[in-house]
Amino acid sequence: MELLKSSEIDRKTVGASHTAKEIAQQPRLWNETKEILFSNRDRILSFLNNIERKYDQLRIILTGAGTSAFVGDTILPHLKQIVNNKKRVVESIATTNIVSNPHSYLDKNFPTIMISFARSGNSPESLAAIHLGEKIIDDFYGIIFTCNQDGLLSVNKKNDEKHLVIYMPEDANDQSFAMTSSFTTMLLSVLLLFHIEQIHKFETTFEDLISAGDSIIKESEKSLKELAASSFSKVVYLGSGVFEGLAREASLKLLELTGGMIPSSFDTSLGFRHGPKSILDKDTIVFVFLSSDSYTRKYDLDILEEIYREKDRGKVVAISSLKDVAAENYSDLFYCANLPKINEDILLTFPYILYAQIFAMYKSINLGFFPDNPSPSGVVNRVVKGVTIHPFVNGLNNGGKI
């Protein structure tokens, strides 16, 4: 039974009603997200232009918690490539860091736009990060990408002239425990935000991405299900540039959906040798996200070959945008998204993450978990609980010394 193509009854039987639906719907939601950004193009440009003409330099912070934070981590290398002037400084800082250490991350005198990613918009840290920004920074603005129109972030800021609230497609408000379509739609939204003036140029690319996503769901599900049913106890995801953030998200998906029973980690292709490779043994599966950049890809292929030649190792899985004889020769499983014309890695993050999401869902089921709620005891929750937001006294830092 292949759940992404199954009936609601089949999905409910294994506790994956929401998870399977939300993974499978992503190609459709990518197109809906593009239309949402296109329809908001003038509003976005007006908001950004009004801010940028006021200041000689502007700081942009990408923020969220958990998967929402990894949206910023994933796209940051791409944004650093295209924001190539001294007027804008872009950083990715998790709300969990901002809230616990505001003086380390917020600068009173640096005009700032905080771009928040929020599935529910009700996370205590999401709300507190914006509150701290408003309290500490003299010139503070916000852009909120949220999947929930009724969330506190949306309700509090939709009429605030210093904030721009943009809603994801309604179906992107994932009801399952693990974020899937909410991750890719928010990632796509911020990508289009930074390319808003040329958004129309993405038309052909979107057709290719949607087609690739549909093909992965149709053609790779059975193989990923079989891989998830094989014997292993640990998983590693490797990738360079934008794929480092994506590897972190892939790692979290598996950890969440297996209730922590399958330890997972992530690293860069070059960084893996510097200690983290110690995890490698016959019970460890390694996924390598291959870059479309010919230079970067050399390093990805180097680590792929090195791991493949190890005697004491588990399966090696390569994920590529195009056919590659070397990658096929040095992997036990080779997945091709069939996007040879796409030479921007950030665009490949959308089809690539589908492999990791599908694999994690099936391993969850294989271990006897219900993917929609892999933590019934409440150790972790869909919207985080148990967070105390402590009162902040502006001016105090370094242990309370002024």
Secondary structure letter of residue 258 according to DSSP: T
Task: Give me the residue label for tokens 């801010």.
Answer: 51
Distance CA 34, CA 41 (A): 10
User: Token digits for 2?
Assistant: 């292949």
* CA torsion, ordered 198, 179, 319, 207, to nearest 10 deg: -40
Cα 308 to Cα 98, 274, 284, 321, 402: the distances in Å are: 40, 18, 12, 20, 56
pLDDT value, residue 358: 98
Alpha helices for 220-289 (secondary structure H): 221-229, 242-257
> What does the DSSP assignment read for 155-170?
HHHTT-TTEEEEEPPG
User: Token digits for 27?
Assistant: 């190609």
Tell me the residue length of the chain. 402
Phi, psi of 117 (to 5 degrees): -110, 130
What is the CA 328 to chain-centroid distance, rounded? 27
Question: At 105, which amino acid appears?
Answer: Y
Question: At 41, which amino acid appears?
Answer: R
Closest CA to 68 of 390, 384, 388, 343: 384
Q: Are 247 and 300 in contact (CB under 8 A)?
A: no
pLDDT value, residue 384: 66
What's this model's pTM, rounded to 2 decimal places? 0.94
List the domains of the chain with CATH numbers.
7-201 (3.40.50.10490), 220-366 (3.40.50.10490)
pLDDT by residue (tens digit) across 64-118? 999 999 999 999 999 999 986 778 999 999 999 999 999 999 999 999 999 999 9
pLDDT value, residue 81: 92
Quick one: which H or E segment has residue 46? Answer: helix 41-52
Distance CA 354, CA 221 (A): 10
SS3 356: helix
Q: Are 154 and 118 in contact (CB under 8 A)?
A: no
Secondary structure letter of residue 115 according to DSSP: E
SS3 140: strand
Distance CA 301, CA 297 (A): 6
pLDDT value, residue 402: 34
The residues with which 140 forms a beta bridge, in sequence order, are 112
Task: Give me the residue label for tokens 């193509």.
Answer: 5
Distance CA 135, CA 317 (A): 47
What is the CA 232 to chain-centroid distance, rounded? 25
Distance CA 145, CA 156 (A): 14
What is the CA 159 to chain-centroid distance, rounded? 28
pLDDT value, residue 380: 62
The residues with which 113 forms a beta bridge, in sequence order, are 60, 141
Per residue of the chain (402 residues), what is the pLDDT tens digit? 799 988 889 999 999 999 999 999 999 999 999 999 999 999 999 999 999 999 999 999 999 999 999 999 999 999 999 986 778 999 999 999 999 999 999 999 999 999 999 999 888 899 999 999 999 999 999 999 999 999 999 999 999 999 999 999 999 999 999 999 999 999 999 999 999 998 888 888 989 999 999 999 999 999 999 999 999 999 999 999 999 999 999 999 999 999 999 999 999 999 999 999 999 999 999 999 999 999 999 999 999 999 999 999 999 999 999 999 999 999 999 999 999 999 999 999 999 999 999 999 999 999 999 999 987 666 665 566 677 888 887 654 543 343
Distance CA 194, CA 41 (A): 11
